[in-house]
Each structure stands twice: as structure tokens, then as C-alpha cells.
Structure 1
Amino acid sequence: MNKKILYLITEDWFFCSHFIERAVAARQSGYDVVVVAREGVHGKQIRDAGLRLVPLEIQRRGINPFKEMATIFRVLRIYRAERPDIVHHIALKPIFYGSFIARLTGLKNIVNAPVGMGFIFSSSSVLAKSLRPFVNLAMRFLLNPRGSCVVFENQDDLNDAISTDRVRQSDAVLIRGAGINLDAFPVKEEPTGKVTVVLTARMLWDKGVGEYVAAARLLLQRQTQARFLLVGAPDIGNPAAISLQQLEDWEREKVIEWLGHRQDIPEILSNSHIVCLPSYREGLPKSLLEALAAGRPVVTTDVPGCREVVRHEENGLLVPPKEVLLLAEALARLIDDADLRRKQGRKGRQRAEQEFSSQEVIGATLDLYGRYDSCR
């Protein structure tokens, strides 16, 4: 019988966005692949890829102890029924629940992937601050149990986890993001006309969307000739979600153009000049990898995840988080300098080809599965 890999993740859309290529590659390599996630509109895509989906009602922001206990028991039943050889837990709640249940059921081959560390570590809200000590405590016991590997998307998070004794150095693995399909993002010459800046992300405050809008407002007040686009939908399952009312208010103010959720990101990038993501913290942002692949310069924040993708003055510009004036100045510099945009865009494409291709990420992940005994 083929060895079985079970992925535990909260949302089917996030699995399809960041992990489905690796799961398909695992299936093609001979593994039986099971995905356990809340089924939304992406269930068909998972099944059409030849993967088996086990629906699970799990809420990312749920903290009701009775509901969470019921979820834990459902996961326990699934693990006992499936008896996987390897479990791959993605994001903090699946890591905590999955690692706990793996211990109960005797599963030892555990891959934990905390990805961007989530709302708890990126937000400055009262809720996030109040939950952070409990999450840190849980991480000490469940992030790196014996027999597990912990996959980080950027060097900052990996170093921090080791220095704080949450992860053993021998078990820490760096696989930088989801990778990018270079063929899907051909490099095209800049479009003519007004310079267009685009932010592509879930519409969350923690993505720096508010700072982006404020910087756009400041530049337009200075008579800067540019368009500012927002691409993405509100993520209602995240406490940092921006309301639909707020997005519509910004549009009515004529500061930004909000395009909502779009599937044609390569076309949007080819019709834009600059990509911006003033995030507070990331794992390794896929939108910036797409910008690099498309040959577009980036303005982003000097925070974990973002600085893994952008080297200051090489393929983009880094600014401190939450600094609207400095963000506006960096955007203005690229808006006014076409030669700099083209130079940084070329460097970005080179980095995408050399460091961030999806084949690199797929290969590293399959190597991890294949040499799993070396992680114990």
C-alpha cells in the first residue's frame, strides 16, 4: 500500500492557493493524499486534482471551548480512521489540535508549518495581545513534539523560534513560501499611460491596507499622477478583516479603485507598474512572489516575510511598518523614475527564477517527506 499523507488546514481556499501543487506532486510521487479542511467553494478543485477531501467544520477565529472541543474530537476520529503515515499541519490551530491528537494516536511523523504566524502575532489589538501568552505556551508544547519537523517560510521566524527554544534547531526547516509558477507570469513591458500601483491581498488591516490608502491619499493631494488599485476580498473569518462599508467609502472618496477578488492576477500585474504590500508581518507573501515573476518592482515593509522577498534598492524598496509618510515617499520615488522601475523589475524576475520557483518549493517539500526519518 502507498504511504499516506494527511494535510490538516482550516480553509480549502488557502490549501489551493499555497499547498495544492505540493500535494499533487506528492500524489504523483506515489503517496495517498488526504486533505482535511473546511469545504467552501474550492472542494471541487481539490477533488479534480486527484486528492481526497474530508470536510471538517473548523473555525479559524473560534474560541468557544465547547465548540473547539467538539472540533478536536472530530479530528481525533478522522486520524483514527485514516491512520496516515505523515501528517502535515498548516497554521497554528491545526498545529495545536493535530499535534495533540497525533500524540494521542501514536502518530510520530509530523510536519508542522506555522506559515505567517497569523492574526495573534501580527495584530496589536486587545484580543491578539490577550491571546498571545496562551498561544506562546501552546507553541512550547505542541509546535515541535518529538518526531516532528517545523517548516518556516522565512529566516526571521526560524531564527526566532530557535532562539526562544520553541523549536529544536535540528528540526527547523526553511522552505520559502508556496513558490511561483514562472510560466503563469510572463514579463511584459510596462503599459503606457498613468502609473498604476496595485496591492493584491486579502482585505485585512494587518496587510497595511489602511496605510496604503493613506499614502495614496497623500500622494493624490500632492497632485501625483498615478492610480492606486486594491485587489482582493474581505476575509470575514479573520478578526482583522476590513468591512465592505469601509472599502466602498474609500472608493467613493476616489482615493483607490477596489477591484474585489480577481482570478486574472497575471493580467492585472502586466497592466500595472508597481506592487505594494505594507504588511505588518508575513510568512512569505505570494503576492510579492507574483510581482517578482511579472518583473514589477515592489514597495513593502521591512518585516519578517516581506524582507525575505525584497532586497532594498535591488528589486524594490523597504520601509518601516505603519509609516505612511515614508511609504508615500517610496511610492513617489518609483512613480517618478521609470528607469529605476525597470531595473528593479528585472532584478526581481531574476530572483524569482533563481530562488522562488514552485519547482524549488515542491522539490524541497518532497525531499522532506522522503527523508523524514532524519528529522527525528
Structure 2
Amino acid sequence: MYVVNNPAFFLSHRLPLAQAALARGDEVHLATMPGASVPEVLALGLVHHSLPMTRSGGNPLQELRTLGSIWRLFRRVKPDIVHLVTIKPVLYGGIAARLAGVPGMVAAISGLGFLFMGKSGWKRRIALQLYRCALGHRNSRVIFQNEEDRDALLQAGAVRPAQVVMIRGSGVDLQRYPALPEPDGPVRVVMAARLLRDKGVEEYVAAARQSAAAGAGVQWLLAGQPDPGNPASVTEDDVAGWRAEGAVEVLGERHDIAALYASAHIVALPSYREGLPKSLVEAAACGRAVVTTDVAGCRDAITPGVTGVLVPVKDAAALARAVMELAHDAEQRREMGRQGRLLAEAEFDIRKIVQMHLAIYDAVSPRQLAAPAA
């Protein structure tokens, strides 16, 4: 059973794992909050369970209700293995799995969230205590996408070294994301992400203004939309102002990311912190040079100086300079794209990612535990 906050996130980031488990004969369930993507989940042959889960965590009674609902679900369905993805499912699902006696648990740490961006405080201490409780399952694996998140939870005593598995991201289908030649015309840079302040969207817009003021001739594209359920989201008024200003071309939400990257020359993501961003994995597969920030997750998605360029976080001027330098150096830009594709083939191929997960499921399977010793 997969436990994820949002069914749309499951479809975009974990669906190949579930399909591979189904193909080998496993019964696969998915527990999420309600959403418009649930019918698609059902059509794929998965059993869906709705959870009373909210995006925010401001109401303690609501959070306890969510934890209790997950516990009751585990007690009723009795999954052999639960795979917990995103922060709330990991924290609450991990505690519920221990209380309900679920035989095997897999937790995917796809970023530790905003609590780990700033200085330590009481909220961070509470979060670490929750991680210690949630990840204490005796028969479990904890998947990390970058070393910084791994080290933070190891040092806090929230995970044991034997639990740790490193997998760089959720993978990419290399056939659906081909590496195509750069298009003709002006150099285009694109950022594709939810429009959150901690994704660096404001720095991206500021860098576009500086590029325009310098007469660089670079076109700056922004794909995504605000996320009203997230306190870090920009507003619709912000987006309307950017459209009116014209420094960036605001595209709205796009699902044809491979085609979008094929129409561009550079991919940028000036985020403050990530697990390992799918947008940069897809950029590598598409053979596009990357400009991103020197923070956890982002630096792990590239080979610095080989497939992309790292810039300081929250530094719009450095972002603008790096983009403009690549815009005017076609040879370096194209070589970075070529190396990015090689990186994707070596590290991000969805087929390899799927096989690694199936091996983890086998390792924590109660069938494996029941097998006689050799």
C-alpha cells in the first residue's frame, strides 16, 4: 500500500513503481486525500482509500484524526508492506505502521521541508522527534534522494545506517524524454515548477528583469501555477503583475514538459531546498544545460560544471549572470546538455529506479522474513 498526500503527485512521481508491482502479481493499494485524479488511479487497477488529510498542519485535532485514520486503515486492510511518500504520510504512516503491526515499511524522504531550511527551533525539534518515532520500524528501509537529508536524520538518531538506501530521484522515462537538438532562434530559458517562493520563483523573475535590462536577448519562460494550499505560494495577483510587466513569459501549468524543454536551451531551478527535483532529472534526459542553486537536492541532480552550473541561493544577480553566460556560449551549453543525457542514462533511468524499489520491497517482505535460513 502506497500512502501519499495527493493522488496527482502519486501519478506523476510513483506510478511506474505501482505498475511494476502489479505486473509481477502484487495487490496494490493507494491511500491519499481525495482528489480529481482518483478515477485515473482506479482505472489503472489500484484499490484507492481516501484519507482525511490536509496540506497544512495547523489543527492538532485534525492531525490526530489523520493519524488515527491511517492506523485504522492499516488494521483493516492488513498490508504486507506500506510505502510512505511525502512528509505527512512518512510521519503519520510510520507511527501508524508500528502501532498496527504492519510487517514491512518503506519510507521515501523526498526532502525534509521548510523546517530544515533555517535555524533550529522548537518546530524542528518536534519534527525530529516525530521522525524518530516514525522511522523506528524494525523491518524497514528509508530511501533518501540526497546525502544532506540522509546525514541530518542519521545525526539526529532518527534512522539506523542499516535502514538507509540512496536512490537519486523518482526516475525518468528516457523514451518519453528524448534528447533533441536545440531549436533555432533566440536562447530560451525555462523554469517549470509550482509557483512557490521557496522554489525561487521571485529570484527567477528578478533575474529575468536584469537580463532584459542588460539587453541580453534571452527569453525567460515560467511554467506553473500558484498553489493556494501552500503558505509559500505566490498569488494570482503576483502572476498577473509578471504577465503585465513582460520580463517573463508566464505559461501557466504545463503537462508537456518534454516538448517544453525541447523548445528551450537552458533549464533553471533556483530553489531553496529539494529532495531531488524531478524537473532537473527531466532536463538532463532532454539534454539541456541546467542552472540551479547550490543547496541540498539541487546540487545532487547535476554534475557541477559538467551538466550544469550552481549559483548561490536567493541570488538573482548570480542566476542572471550564469544564464546569460550559457546563452552566449553555445558550445559549452550543448556539451553540458550532452553530458546531462549521459547522466540521466546512468543514474535516472526509470527502469533502474523501478528495479531498485522492487528489490527493497522483497527485502522487507514478510515472505522473505518467513523463508528458512540458508
**Alpha-carbon offset, residue 165 of structure 1:** 2.0
Moved more, 112-121 or 278-287: 112-121
Residue 88 of structure 2 corresponds to residue 85 of structure 1? no
Residue 364 of structure 2 corresponds to residue 372 of structure 1? yes
Look up the match of 1:174: 166
- In structure 2, give the amino acid aligned to 1:269: Y
- In structure 2, give the amino acid aligned to 1:309: A
SS of 1:318's partner is strand
Runs of 4+ in structure 1 over 4 Å off: none
TM-score of the pair, normalised by structure 1: 0.94
1:119–1:239 Cα contact (<8 Å) kept: no
Look up the match of 2:4: 9
**Alpha-carbon offset, residue 60 of structure 1:** 2.1
Cα displacement string for residues 1-24 of structure 1 (whole angstroms, at most 9, x for unaligned residues): xxxxx1111111111111111011
- In structure 2, give the amino acid aligned to 1:144: G
What is the CA–CA distance in structure 1 between the aligned matches of 2:261 and 2:176, rounded to whole Å? Answer: 11
2:218–2:324 Cα contact (<8 Å) kept: no
Look up the match of 1:315: 307
Look up the match of 1:38: 33
Look up the match of 1:103: 98
Residue 59 of structure 2 corresponds to residue 64 of structure 1? yes
Residue 291 of structure 2 corresponds to residue 299 of structure 1? yes
What is the CA–CA distance in structure 2 between the aligned matches of 1:335 and 1:113, rounded to whole Å? Answer: 37
Look up the match of 1:3: none
Look up the match of 2:186: 194
Q: Show structure 2 runs of 5+ residues with no match.
A: 370-374
What is the CA–CA distance in structure 1 between the aligned matches of 2:138 and 2:363, rounded to whole Å? Answer: 16
**Structure 2 vs 1, CA of residues 295 and 98 (structure 1 numbering), >3 Å: closer, same or farther?**
same
What is the CA–CA distance in structure 2 between the aligned matches of 1:297 and 1:37, rounded to whole Å? Answer: 35
Cα displacement string for residues 91-119 of structure 1 (whole angstroms, at most 9, x for unaligned residues): 22112211221222112311111212223
Residue 15 of structure 2 corresponds to residue 20 of structure 1? yes
Look up the match of 2:232: 240
1:149–1:171 Cα contact (<8 Å) kept: yes
SS of 1:179's partner is coil
Look up the match of 2:316: 324
2:275–2:296 Cα contact (<8 Å) kept: yes
Q: Show structure 1 runs of 5+ residues with no match.
A: 1-5
**Alpha-carbon offset, residue 245 of structure 1:** 0.9
Residue 113 of structure 2 corresponds to residue 118 of structure 1? yes
Equivalent positions of 1:131-210 (< 5 A) are: 131-210=123-202
**Alpha-carbon offset, residue 212 of structure 1:** 0.8
1:175–1:365 Cα contact (<8 Å) kept: no
Cα displacement string for residues 65-107 of structure 1 (whole angstroms, at most 9, x for unaligned residues): 1222222222222111110000111122112211221222112
Look up the match of 2:205: 213
What is the CA–CA distance in structure 2 between the aligned matches of 1:120 and 1:42, rounded to whole Å? Answer: 29
Look up the match of 2:246: 254
What is the CA–CA distance in structure 2 between the aligned matches of 1:237 and 1:111, rounded to whole Å? Answer: 27
2:128–2:156 Cα contact (<8 Å) kept: no
**Alpha-carbon offset, residue 262 of structure 1:** 1.0
Cα displacement string for residues 31-71 of structure 1 (whole angstroms, at most 9, x for unaligned residues): 11100001212112212221111122211213211222222
Moved more, 340-349 or 54-63: 54-63
What is the CA–CA distance in structure 2 between the aligned matches of 1:365 and 1:227, rounded to whole Å? Answer: 40
- In structure 1, give the amino acid aligned to 2:216: T
1:144–1:150 Cα contact (<8 Å) kept: no
TM-score of the pair, normalised by structure 2: 0.94
Look up the match of 2:372: none
2:94–2:133 Cα contact (<8 Å) kept: no
**Structure 2 vs 1, CA of residues 252 and 130 (structure 1 numbering), >3 Å: closer, same or farther?**
farther
What is the CA–CA distance in structure 2 between the aligned matches of 1:69 and 1:303, rounded to whole Å? Answer: 33
Look up the match of 1:225: 217
**Number of aligned positions between the proteins:** 368
**Structure 2 vs 1, CA of residues 141 and 165 (structure 1 numbering), >3 Å: closer, same or farther?**
same
Residue 328 of structure 2 corresponds to residue 336 of structure 1? yes
What is the CA–CA distance in structure 2 between the aligned matches of 1:372 and 1:70, rounded to whole Å? Answer: 28
RMSD, aligned α-carbons: 1.8
SS of 1:162's partner is helix
Look up the match of 1:279: 271
